[in-house]
């Protein structure tokens, strides 16, 4: 398909949460293909390695046939060009996310005018959820049911309880 609409959903995914999954599933229903792009920039100190984050996303999205996961480094717009995407998808949990996301969307549009950012409001039940909240709960062996996909729960607890 030549005019396939490819969307990139970028983030740290450290680790993937149910909030991320909600955005991925909804974007997959709208665009022909969704590429989940895992940031692997050395200045961001991630808890999980890029390989681990990609692997967790691959497990969680195995049923979504038009979704693939890849790591990227450097500028997001370079990656967007490389994969032939025309859309960046971002989830918004609350107005507090908006300012930074708005700025990034404008900067990305300036660097790559052919690419637009589409914002999806996350479900209200996920508005409190973040990877850092998940890491905090996992560190103390708390229950992650409904916060991270079932497929990755054990891996997240396992890694964080050893830190």
Residues forming contacts to ligand PNS in the complex (CB under 6 A) are 10-12, 39, 75-76, 104, 107-108
Active-site pick, 33, 53, 90, 131: 131
> Could you give the residue ranges of the DSSP H alpha helices within 114-149?
131-139
Closer residue to ligand PNS, CB minimum distance, 12 or 153 = 12
Residue nearest to ligand PNS (CB): 11
Closest distance between ligand PNS and the C-beta of residue 3, in Å? 25
Closest distance between ligand PNS and the C-beta of residue 44, in Å? 7
Q: Tokens for 117, please give them.
A: 């950012």
Q: Which 3 state secondary structure label does DSSP give 27? A: helix
Q: Tokens for 23, please give them.
A: 């955005």
Q: Residue with structure tokens 């909240």? A: 133
Closer residue to ligand PNS, CB minimum distance, 48 or 162 = 48
Question: Is cis: bond before 157, omega within 30 of 0?
Answer: no
Question: Would residue 123 show up in a list of annotated catalytic residues for this protein?
Answer: no
Question: Would residue 127 show up in a list of annotated catalytic residues for this protein?
Answer: no
Active-site pick, 26, 81, 93, 139: 93
Question: Would residue 81 show up in a list of annotated catalytic residues for this protein?
Answer: no
Question: Would residue 93 show up in a list of annotated catalytic residues for this protein?
Answer: yes
Beta bridge partners of 54: none
d(CA 160, CA 131): 12
Which active-site residues does the annotation give? 20, 44, 93, 131
């Amino acid at each position: 398909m030549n005019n396939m609409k490819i969307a990139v959903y970028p983030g740290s995914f450290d680790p993937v949460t149910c909030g991320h999954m909600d955005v991925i599933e909804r974007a997959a229903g709208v665009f022909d293909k969704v590429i989940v792009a895992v940031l692997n920039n050395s200045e961001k100190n991630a808890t999980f390695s890029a390989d681990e984050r990609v692997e967790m996303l691959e497990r969680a999205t195995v049923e979504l046939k038009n979704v693939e996961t890849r790591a990227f480094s450097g500028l997001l717009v370079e990656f967007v060009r490389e994969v032939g995407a025309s859309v960046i998808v971002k989830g918004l949990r609350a107005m507090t996310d908006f300012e930074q996301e708005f700025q990034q969307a404008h900067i990305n549009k300036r660097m790559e005018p052919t690419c637009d950012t589409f914002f999806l409001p996350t479900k209200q039940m996920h508005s409190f959820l973040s990877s850092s909240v998940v890491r905090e709960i996992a560190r103390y062996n708390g229950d992650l049911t409904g916060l991270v996909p079932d497929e990755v729960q054990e891996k997240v607890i396992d890694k964080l309880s050893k830190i």
